[in-house]
Structure 1
Amino acid sequence: MKIEEFDLVIAGTGAAGMSAALRAEALGAKIALVEKSAYVGGTTAISGGVVWAPNNHHQRAAGHEEDRDLLRAYMKRVSQDRGDESLFDTYIDELPRAIRFLEERAEFEFTPLLDYPDYQPELIGGREGGRSLDNPLYDTKRLGVDRPLLRRNLVNGALPLTIGEAMAYRVFSNPFGLPYQEIVQRGKDGIVHGGAALIGRMLERLLRAGIRPRLGAAAKRLHLEDGGVGGVYVEEGGETLLLKARRGVVLASDGFEWDPELCAQFLPIEMKHPLSPPHNTGDALRMAHSVGAALRTMNEAWWTPAVQIPGETVDDIAPLHRGEFSIRCLPHAIIVNRRGRRFTNEARNYNDMTKPFFDQDSSRHEPRNLPAFLIADGQYLERYIFLAASRGRPIPEFIPHADSLEALAEKTGIDPTGLVDEVARWNEFSARGEDPDFGRGSSAFDRFYGDPEAPVHPNFGPISRPPFMALPIHPGAMGTKGGPRVDRHARVLSVEGEPIKGLYAAGNAQGSIFGAGYPGAGATIGQAILFGTLAAEHAAG
């Protein structure tokens, strides 16, 4: 067996792995950076690239100071008392420092999203803006011949916009008002946005330092020596080799949302629609578990409603599932189950609005709210885009549609009486802009994704004009949250609570510190950047 020796071996090239690599390189460590797929970037590269970083220097410079006690109270409440409170202070204190290092090393600056609310801004300590950071567009021509290494966003990568620009243009509520010619030209010129832009900058800096990610190299098994982890066995090019690590191994590779066996074992619902790249099959979890790691948050994920356009694929090996972030929040649209009944606040943040999909009908012994459908009408089509349907074009056949609610119900198997009654009830709510059933529109976050020009309320509008449409909508996830417990240095802890020598974890390869909650846009990437950085500093410092 071929053996190679390094100071640090890092598995995964999302924000966690790339942050670890950047910090370790700056500390002079000899690094091996391995990636299971054929592209650099992991789930980060297909995300919006926002970072939830409360107490960051950009926020403070804009006059948005933090009250530490209120911030901790918010993190505790939003995690539903299931977060790792021992690491909340680490997040508050150390992530701003990690952000500064990343900006300096990759030679760019984040921009504070001063009007982007936390995901539960009305909770104690919640904010209506300032904690999430946007990153600028990136020109992939800077990567030269290595441009093809970067994973791209298959959903909206051809329309590169920063989050700030998308907010200014009101990309969801005013989709026909964008300067499409200019934006499309950006894409043709090699400009990327969001997570791909963030990863592109990190990749450029590593390549400049002589660190080239090893693609198609899957970390599968830990090597033990001297009472700890001394390396990792990697499958690369059809053979297994040992990458020895003098200072440690950083697991930053994946969650387990694409592994049916692990999902069935731990998650509360069958996972059929993960949004991440299909290589996230729990390799890091299995490795950590094999050496006695304590696990946490195994039954949770970064839940997201998902929709699908037939025929779209990821890496030519799996169906592409699109996160549904906007249609459901706008006027003239609701979500119903097969009984025709609403069951969630459609406009709430994607993590929390997905959880009612899990509700179990105890008498029927089946999920109460599956299948589910996103219902909209002709008024919606006049103003907005309904996935692949828009005004002036035929509605695609994969979206069931009809000239009456009764006919729509017959096509989809929805109970017609329930649907007609529920739409009538919704129309009454829309007339006064109030939802006594689920509180839609009551949060600043709900309204943020609504239409500020709607006559009554940003989230309300009647469903009354044909054609009527029913888009299947599913519970999905951007990634799982379960994994090994870590300490403030990102060291993996054993079931006895002691650090496992030489083993670190970060990102979705670690057990999330946020428990059942999702505090704000970019908490996934914030956790990844922080613990990737901390792992490298402890191992290579």
Structure 2
Amino acid sequence: MSSQPRHVEPQRRSQRVDVVVLGTGAAGLAAAVTAASYGASVALVEKGDKVGGTSAWSGGMVWIPNNPHMRSKGIADNVDDARRYLTSMSHGMIEDSLAESFLVNGPEVIRWLEANTPVQFTIVDGMPDYHPEHPGGCVTGGRSLECDLYPFGELGEWAERVTVGAQNAKPYFRMSETPIGSPIPVRLDPGELARRKAGNLRGVGQSLVGRLLRGCLDRGLVPVTSTAGRRLIVEDGTVVGVTVEGPDGELDIRASGGVVLATGGFEWDSQFVRSFLRGPLTRTVSLPTNTGDGLRMSMRIGAALANMREAWWVPIADVENEEGDTYAYLIQADRTKPHSIMVNGAGRRFTNEAANYNSAGAAFHVMDAHTFEYANLPAYMIFDAEFLRRYGFAKHAPGDAGYEWLTSADTIAGLAAKIGVPSDALEETVDLWNKHCIDLVDPDFHRGSSAHDNWWGDPAYKGTPAATLGPVDSAPYYAIEVHAGALGTRGGPRTGPDGEVLDVDGEVIPGLYAAGNVMASPLGMTYGGGGGTLACGLVFGHLAGRHAAQRAAG
């Protein structure tokens, strides 16, 4: 009698560490470098083939009220004012314990990063909060910070393994020198630009990510790329690790301290977008790897969700770069300048064009009760020859040629015909706008009534309404379609004040943490100021990494 061969299950590959961090954006890198500094062994895992996540594509600013740089410059601020400010805009959507943790710990996280990593911040001079006239708002600036240029040669072979997006494809600028972080972008002297290129001196989100990455590398933390989190490993209700999948197949990583989810949002998962977001999303300025992996893994084990309808909303245009390629461009300083307006498909203005991008982006969600269509889509930015002469558009500086990709016409009626809006309505809208500009008052949407609007406008007018109110009356006229977009989503698992993920009963799921856009945002639906997205990631990444490391140490 012959014996049957026994089937032997192949032994699963496994690894043991103290802390696993999934994601290498600002939140993940902050979690990893913090955990390692507190003595933990750390596995740092990245889904993409390069590191940095959407943080590396971003402007790199962080919004931290009462930060130490404000004090060093004599700018008064305190937690009470910041709390009043957020509360004034929250509509009850902020969890008090999370907001308090963000506000109280934010300044200390800045101090810790500057003392323990190459990260160093400076104030973005003069940049007001996004709603500066609200109670507790900051009118004269100080809460928004950025990193100076960073020599990427310090990263060695990792210098070219940091992802670069179309928005910052030439990252040799500080955020305060770009159209996203300054009323008037700086046109660098050719010699200075050549010096920065030769030294690979990078600003914006590249600088922040590069500095955090160097801090990780200095502690022996080498990211594992092209490897995605698949399933959390749970024993007796406690997360004890995660199964990841890379080029060599699956690997179980056991972690005595816990797993930190820093995997970004879900804006690239069409089903999640349809299921959760409160309005349309047709463009994103984030990495396509943001498909809700961390959200999906946490949902499987009973995590409570919050803030799921919200994203960091932005108006986006499809812009052509110098090479003739089209990319999604976040319209920020452009739409705040004089000689421009935005209109909907009916040819009517529908919002304060100079409002912060989150508020302007949310205006696309208005539903027409009669037609049951989105009232403000499609939308168009309308501007004139004087606008282009003074300000340029997108990354094209004043005086540049090569605007063939814009729709243009010699008359407003001709422009209306080309973009498909009623010509009589658009002519009436432009005429009314031009009359408002004579009076320097916008009675319809109050453009120019906020310090925010006027700071982002033309600095030649020194913060007056004329900085943003200017007639559209110089032919030829131009239009570009504006799309409903987002920097990323901001809903996900609810967390405690140290980033501990909570279950549907409000109890901590031991061993699981979340930070950055994967978590339910501590700011709810609010956007306090420039850098609010990255600030939450840094603060809760740090807190989660510290808590997980201390948990591993017992």
Q: If the TM-score is normalised by the length of the shorter chain, which range does it land in?
A: over 0.9
Distance 1:503 1:260 in 2: 26
- 1:125 maps to what in 2? 136
Matching residue's letter, 1:125: G
Instruction: Check conservation: 1:116, 1:448, Cα contact below 8 A.
Output: yes
1:487, 1:493 within 8 Å by CA — same for their partners in 2? yes
1:354-399 residue CA offsets vs partner (Å, 9 max, x unmatched): 1111111121121111110000011111111123666655553331
Per the alignment, in what secondary structure is the counterpart of residue 319 of structure 2? coil
Distance 2:443 2:56 in 1: 39
Name the CA distance, whole Å, in 2 between partners of 1:75 and 1:101: 24
Structure 2 residue identity aligned to 1:276: S
Q: Residue type matched to 2:545 in 1?
A: A
Instruction: Report the counterpart of residue 191 of structure 1 in structure 2.
Output: 201
SS in structure 2 of the partner of residue 183 of structure 1: helix
Once residues 520 and 170 of structure 1 are traced to their aligned partners in structure 2, the CA distance between those partners, rounded to angstroms, is 11
Out of 301-310 and 324-333, give the one that drifted further: 301-310
Q: What displacement does 1:227 show?
A: 2.4
Q: CA deviation at 1:42?
A: 0.8
Q: Pick from 324, 330, 340: which aligns with 1:333? A: 340
Secondary structure at 1:146 match in 2 = helix
Task: Report the counterpart of residue 397 of structure 1 in structure 2.
Answer: 404
1:144 aligned partner: 156
Listed as ranges, the matches of 1:250-269 within 5 Å are: 250-269=260-279
Alpha-carbon spacing, 1:249–1:389, altered in 2? closer, same or farther (3 Å): closer
Is residue 2:523 matched to residue 1:514?
yes
Contact 2:182 2:456 in 1 (8 A): no
1:12 maps to 2:23: yes
- 1:457 aligns to what SS in structure 2? helix
Note the 1:360-379 alignment, pairs <5 A: 360-379=367-386
Once residues 443 and 473 of structure 2 are traced to their aligned partners in structure 1, the CA distance between those partners, rounded to angstroms, is 20
Q: What secondary structure is seen at the aligned counterpart in 1 of 2:284?
A: coil
Equivalent of 1:218 in 219, 224, 228? 228
Q: Does 1:227 align with 2:237?
A: yes
Distance 1:400 1:188, change over 3 A: farther
CA distance in 1, matches of 2:188, 2:322: 25
TM-score for the superposition, normalised by structure 2: 0.92
Mark the CA change 1:432 to 1:159 in structure 2 (over 3 Å): closer, same or farther. Answer: farther
Q: Of 524, 544, 549, which aligns to 1:535?
A: 544
Q: Does residue 21 of structure 1 match 2:28?
A: no
Would you say 1:134 and 2:146 are equivalent positions? Answer: yes
Work out whether 1:466 is the aligned partner of 2:475.
yes
Alignment pair present for 1:503 and 2:512: yes
Paired with 1:52 and 1:409, the residues of 2 have a C-alpha distance of 40
One of 52, 63, 86 as aligned partner of 1:52: 63
Aligned residues: 535
Runs (5+) with no aligned partner, structure 2: 1-11
Structure 1 position 351 matched with structure 2 position 358: yes
Partner of 1:303: 313
Contact 2:132 2:138 (C-alpha < 8 Å) held by counterparts: yes
C-alpha separation between the residues in 2 aligned to 1:61 and 1:354?
Answer: 35
Superposition deviation, residue 154 in structure 1: 2.6
Report the TM-score when normalising by structure 1: 0.95
**Max radius of gyration: which structure?**
2
Deviation at 1:510, TM superposition (A): 0.4
The yes-or-no answer on 1:79 pairing with 2:90 is yes
For the Cα contact (< 8 Å) 2:124–2:144, is it kept in 1?
Answer: yes
Residues 20 and 536 in structure 1, CA contact (< 8 A), matched pair in contact too: yes
- Counterpart residue identity of residue 196, structure 1: Q
The alignment-based identity, stated in percent, is: 40
Q: What secondary structure sits across from 1:439 in the alignment?
A: coil
Equivalent-residue separation in structure 1 for 2:53 and 2:392 (angstroms) = 28
Asked if structure 2 preserves the Cα contact closer than 8 Å seen for 1:76 and 1:85, the reply is: no
Residues 389 and 15 of structure 1: CA distance in aligned 2, closer, same or farther (over 3 Å): closer
229, 234, 256: which is aligned to 1:246?
256
Q: Does 1:207 align with 2:208?
A: no
Aligned counterparts of 1:533 and 1:254: Cα–Cα separation in 2: 16
Match of 1:412 in 2: 419
> Relative to 1, partners in 2 of residues 1:34 and 1:456: Cα closer, same or farther, differing over 3 Å?
closer
Aligned AA for 1:141?
G
| Residue 156 (structure 1) shift | 3.3
- Alignment partner for residue 476 of structure 1, among 485, 506, 523? 485
The RMSD of aligned alpha carbons is 2.1
- Counterpart contact for 1:160–1:183, Cα < 8 Å: yes
Going from structure 1 to structure 2, the CA distance change for 1:471 and 1:188 (only over 3 Å counts) comes to farther
Aligned mates of 1:61, 1:432 — CA distance in 2: 41
Describe the shift of the 1:155–1:369 C-alpha distance in structure 2 as closer, same or farther (beyond 3 A).
same
| C-alpha contact 1:159 1:184 (8 A) present in aligned 2 | no
- The residue number in structure 2 matching 1:287 is 297
Mapped partners of 1:159, 1:297: distance in 2? 32
The reply on whether 1:110 has 2:117 as its aligned counterpart is: no
Q: Which runs of 5+ in 1 are unaligned?
A: none
Secondary structure in structure 2 of the residue aligned to 1:361: coil
Alpha carbons 1:114, 1:131 under 8 Å: kept: no
